[in-house]
Amino acid sequence: MSKISKSFAGVPALKGVDFNVRGGEIHALLGANGAGKSTLMKILSGAYETDEGNIEAGGVSHAFRSPSDSKAAGIHCVYQEVDTSLVAHLTVSENIFLDNLASPKGKAWLSWGKLHDEASAVLERLGLHISPRTLVRDLTLSEKQLVLIARLSAQKAKFVILDEPTAPLSLEETEKLFGIMQGLKSDGIGVIFISHRLPEVLRISDRITVMRDGERVLTVRKEEIDSQGIVKAMLGRSFEEEFPKLQADIGKPVLTVARLEAGKRVRGVDLEVRQGEIVAVVGLVGAGKTELSRALFGADPIDRGTVAVNGKSAKLASPAEAVRAGIALVPEERRKEGIFVRESVLHNLSVPVLRAISRLGILSGKRERELANRQISDLGIKTSSATQQTAFLSGGNQQKVAIGKWLETDADVFVFDEPTKGVDVGAKRDIFRIIGTLAQQGKGILYLTCEFDEALGLADRILVMCDGSIVKSFNRGEATHEDLLKFASAVREELA
């Protein structure tokens, strides 16, 4: 790819990027959020058309106008947003062979028996235990990701793009994926791998390309660089202290949870969060963290158990009641649950505090603007103005909006569910600073994450969650990465 440029509505996302992959290599593509990685890959896979520039594959120049063009050239892609590439109410088989069904060269008639058999074969080859007749809407996120990988391996690809495939995967599953990637590599296929997890990038890739602000900054062999160098290249400066921990005084308990059971994934959780305390809950994907956070926020029904805020028992039948009780949640899936993409930043920031900025139901425009401007400058939200539509913000800034809207409620407990998912290091640091500040103000923080390093750096206490319950508690400094991993996967192995 050479001199690729692309703008969205006049705003450049890519500025003359050159990029190349060789057959039989794993080429990592890195960069902060909004650097343009996904956009570049979407152009390569034909999802977007490029404004300028040229793409060559196998020595032939291509003009990819549609995904089928680039598929014809042997380029296949697993997109970052899993749900965009799956048809929820169809079976796993059909989703695996979606490309074949979509191809104009495919067979006109469909044999269902054969389709399921072939799908079973593919799944088996990858060692995946998913029934081909299941509807995709009944799968978990990681299973969906695996179906996409199965789709990829059912194709005769020359180049494969994996855009943040590991984000929803557990360690085991990640290992499985890496095995598949190695297999592709040894078949002479070129693999492009995008991830925000530097250790795995350094482990698996052969070459690394770093992008910043729509431009390619460097391309090097893995051996020529370390993670510090990468971070520096990504941010354009060095990144000294990864997780700045602000000190806060720890006070009375603000959140007490006893024997909480909700749905299938929360099976008896006890925990306590105190004023000024940051409690991290770590666990593998599928441990039930998201479900725990939703139950605590009244978003999903609670089956049994009690939740008390500031010593007062809280009835959590709906998020509205949770908010009244003093709980705030920053949900995991920000575009779906956290923000209103079609509305302005201004309106996004004021949703939970509409009562506070209105009198007798009439909104005060002045107070709303003041509030928004305060959040925008405090949190460093990069937006052209408060009336900018939120859809046009980058991921990290959208996350800041999702957090910012809670800051002026009088919540005592803040629950963060994977707030750094798909967020670049710069924005990540801002988010940690915000969390630290909240703790200093005496708020209780419950921080759910599958990034153990974040928990180790940030938390006063770490709870390990496994299969729906808390299996271990560590105070700050007591645990290592390995300890956490051991307990997080322990129960699962025992059960297996």
Partner 1 sequence: MRKHLLPFSFKYGALLFIGLVILFFSLYNQYFFTYSNLTDILRSISIVTFVAIGVTISLLVDGFDLSVSATVSLSTVITASLMVWYEMPLVVVLIVPIAVGALIGLINSLLIVKIRIPDLLATLSVMYLVNGIHKNYTAGYSVYSHMPMPDGSTAPGEMSKAFLWIGQGKLLGIPFPVVLMVVAVAAVHVFFKYTRWGRQMIMTGGNEEAARLSGVKVKKIRMYAYVASGIFASIGGILFASRIGSGQIDAGAPMLMESVAAVFVGYSVFAAGRPNIIGTFFGAILMGVLVNGLTMMNVKYYQTDIVKGLVLIVALAVTFIHLNRRKA
Ligand X SMILES: Nc1ncnc2c1ncn2[C@@H]1O[C@H](COP(=O)(O)OP(=O)(O)OP(=O)(O)O)[C@@H](O)[C@H]1O
Binding residues for partner 1, rule: CB under 8 A, are: 8-9, 45, 47, 66-68, 71, 77, 79, 83-90, 94, 98-99, 101-104, 106-110, 131, 133-135, 138, 297, 299, 318-320, 322-324, 329, 331, 336-343, 347, 350-352, 354-355, 358, 361-363, 365, 384-385, 387-388, 405
Q: Among residues 27, 36, 46, 436, which is the contact residue for ligand X, using CB under 6 A?
A: 36
Q: Among residues 70, 375, 394, 469, which is the contact residue for ligand X, using CB under 6 A?
A: 394
Per-residue binding string, ligand X, 344-383, x by CB under 6 A, is ----------------------------------------
| Minimum separation from the CB atom of position 296 to partner 1 (A) | 12
Q: How far apart are the first and last CA of the chain?
A: 47
Q: Among residues 45, 50, 80, 195, which is the contact residue for ligand X, using CB under 6 A?
A: 80
Question: Can you read off the two tokens belonging to residue 10?
Answer: 């006049």
Q: Among residues 27, 71, 76, 144, which is the contact residue for ligand X, using CB under 6 A?
A: 144
| Minimum separation from the CB atom of position 11 to partner 1 (A) | 9
The reply to whether 283 sits near ligand X by the rule CB under 6 A is yes
CA gap 459, 436 in Å, rounded: 10
> b/e for 438-472, b at 16 or more Cβ within 10 A?
bbeebbbbbbbbbbbebbbbbbbbbbbbbbbbbbb
Task: List the interface residues with ligand X, window 147-176 (CB under 6 A).
Answer: 168
Token pair 């999702």 is found at 402
- Cβ-proximal residues to 181 (8 Å cutoff; 6+ apart), any chain: 26, 162, 191, 193, 204
Nearer to partner 1, 19 or 97 (CB): 97
Q: Among residues 271, 287, 411, 459, which is the contact residue for ligand X, using CB under 6 A?
A: 287
> b/e for 146-168, b at 16 or more Cβ within 10 A?
bbbbbbbbbeebbbbbbbbbbbb
> b/e for 120-137, b at 16 or more Cβ within 10 A?
bebbeebebebebeeebe
Question: Can you read off the two tokens belonging to residue 346?
Answer: 């201004």
Token pair 């390309």 is found at 209
Q: Of 425, 436, 31, 419, which is closest to residue 241 (Cα–Cα)?
A: 425
The reply to whether 141 sits near ligand X by the rule CB under 6 A is yes
Is residue 285 within 8 A of residue 141, CB to CB? The reply is yes
Nearer to partner 1, 42 or 429 (CB): 42
Q: Among residues 4, 33, 126, 273, which is the contact residue for ligand X, using CB under 6 A?
A: 33
Nearer to Mg ion, 115 or 459 (CB): 459
Question: Can you give the length of the chain in residues?
Answer: 496
Burial category of 398 from C-beta neighbours within 10 Å (exposed 0-12, middle 13-18, buried 19 and up): buried
- Cβ-proximal residues to 321 (8 Å cutoff; 6+ apart), any chain: 298, 314, 315
Task: List the interface residues with Mg ion, window 75-114 (CB under 5 A).
Answer: 80
The reply to whether 420 sits near ligand X by the rule CB under 6 A is no
The reply to whether 290 sits near Mg ion by the rule CB under 5 A is yes
Given the rule CB under 5 A, which of 34-42, 141-149, 265-273, 471-479 is the region that contacts Mg ion? Answer: 34-42
The full DSSP string for 306-352 is EEEETTEE---SSHHHHHHHTEEEE-S-IIIII--TTSBHHHHHHGG
Phi-psi region of 53 (alpha: psi -120 to 50; beta: other; left: phi over 0): left
From ligand X, Mg ion, partner 1, none, interface partner of 310 (C-beta below 5 to 8 A by class):
none
Nearer to partner 1, 86 or 248 (CB): 86
| Minimum separation from the CB atom of position 99 to partner 1 (A) | 5
Q: Among residues 13, 177, 299, 346, which is the contact residue for ligand X, using CB under 6 A?
A: 13
Nearer to partner 1, 69 or 453 (CB): 69
The reply to whether 140 sits near ligand X by the rule CB under 6 A is yes
| Minimum separation from the CB atom of position 310 to partner 1 (A) | 18
Burial category of 85 from C-beta neighbours within 10 Å (exposed 0-12, middle 13-18, buried 19 and up): middle
From partner 1, ligand X, Mg ion, none, interface partner of 339 (C-beta below 5 to 8 A by class):
partner 1
From partner 1, ligand X, Mg ion, none, interface partner of 39 (C-beta below 5 to 8 A by class):
ligand X
Binding site for ligand X (CB under 6 A): 8, 13, 31, 33-39, 80, 139-141, 144, 168, 265, 283, 285-291, 332-333, 392, 394-395, 418, 422, 450
Binding site for Mg ion (CB under 5 A): 38, 80, 289-290, 332
